[in-house]
Amino acid sequence: MAHSLAILGGAQVSDRQWPRWPQPGPRALKSLEDVLHSGRWTISCAYQGRPSYEEQFADAFAEYCGTEFCVPTSTGSASLSIALEACGVGAFDEVVVPGLSWVASASAVLGINAIPVLVDVDPATYCVDPDAVAAAITERTRAITVVHAYSSIADLTALTEIARRHGLPLIEDCAHAHGARYRGQAVGSIGAAGAFSMQGTKLLTAGEGGAVVTNDPEVADRADHLRSDGRRRSRAPLNVGDMELLETGHMMGSNACLSEFHAAVLLDQLDLIDGQNMRRRESAAYLDQRLARFGCVGQVTTEGTTERTYYRYATRLPKEILEIVPVATVIDALTAELGFPVLSAYRPLNDNPLHRPDTRRRFAANPEYLAQVNPKRFDLPVTKDIHESVVTFGHEVLLAPIEAMEEIALAFEKVTAHIGEIAP
């Protein structure tokens, strides 16, 4: 018997070449060559008579985010740990963490010997539920982290009020949200600090990299020390051959500096991101409308979002489909039809193989601490439901021509219409 679905040998809906990511801009090669011959490949090398690419990027990204300060870092995970510690979080402190996120949201907290307290998310936005945050706060809570997940901005009005009421810093994890704005303000500029990732899949990327943004000079100063072995950038005039990083003795740190190569690429990417984000929004709006015809419900963003960005496009499958097959089966069928990877939403952090503190001896040194960081002690029913009902794909797909979005819609239509062919 002939089958319709590609996963069973039928013809694919699409055989197009989908956009690849990352995509270099026009000045990337020239800037990288300039770094190569500059005599300075990182901020910890001697000053060469001109502003470093890192300093140029820090200034440009602070302006982009509307903040007074930007401290570049080597990774997004480092930016989150540094932001937390710069805001006063330390050993045995509790930090509220959304249960739906990449594992780094929890491991960054563990990295400063604090305790991630996992809370559930809103079923429509997939961002942390303010009521769950409020219920999780104890006398040991020292910070609230919020992830602007996939294409949504969290309810920053409610969350900043909770943070203010309890005297806690709100740390915005903006790894998915470069360029997003809430009530006219860039994400990252609203809390005590914003942490960004520039890892290879991100909207603004140099393969790796990160940044902490803030309007608080003390938080910025501590972040500067924490990411450069207890040093900070000099504010005095420099001569060629001088070291730009000063050994102040103010605060011990570690090495999490951004290289000049990464900073040069990020400056190039920063020129492109607004135009790319606009194209992604147009494609996502088309898909939301088309997929709704088949019962899919796209991820929504919080009221007050004034500029939305798309790290991954996400949509919830209709219940009648999931009563026939699990989400993993639909994902495999869609991937076969389209030729690019379709994935589920993040696995909940209370049941994620990447979030297992018991596999690290550093955490086992204190049995009480190990029990407190055991993720299985938390219940995340909404996050679990999202993982079992939502499909996602990468933002680069949204950069394809608008007619390609119709191919995606046709693939959803085909798979849902023939779902019985792959039923167990």
Which residues are designated catalytic? 202
3-state secondary structure the chain: CCCCCHHHCCCCCCCCCCCCCCCCCCCHHHHHHHHHCCCCCECCCECCCCCCHHHHHHHHHHHHHCCCEEEEECCHHHHHHHHHHHCCCCCCCEEEEECCCCCHHHHHHHCCCCEEEEECECCCCCCECHHHHHHHCCCCEEEEEEECCCCCCCCHHHHHHHHHHHCCCEEEECCCCCCCEECCEECCCCCCEEEEECCCCCCCCCCCCEEEEECCHHHHHHHHHHHECCEEECCCCCCCCCECEEECCCCCCCECCCEHHHHHHHHHHHCCHHHHHHHHHHHHHHHHHHHHCCCCEECCCCCCEEECCCCEEEEECCHHHHCCCCHHHHHHHHHHHHCCCCEECCCCHHHCCCCCHHHCHHHHCCHHHHHHCCHHHCCCHHHHHHHCCEEEEEHHHHHCCHHHHHHHHHHHHHHHHCHHHHCC
Other CB atoms within 10 A of residue 283 CB: 22
Q: Which residues contact 161 (CB under 8 A, 6 or more apart)?
A: none
Using CA atoms, how far apart are residues 126 and 144, in angstroms rounded to an integer?
17
Write out the two tokens for 117.
């307290």
Residue whose structure tokens are 């938080």: 219
Cβ(257)–Cβ(73) under 8 Å? Answer: yes
Give the residue from 73, 146, 148, 86 showing the smallest Cα distance to 307.
148
Cβ(391)–Cβ(379) under 8 Å? Answer: no
Other CB atoms within 10 A of residue 17 CB: 9
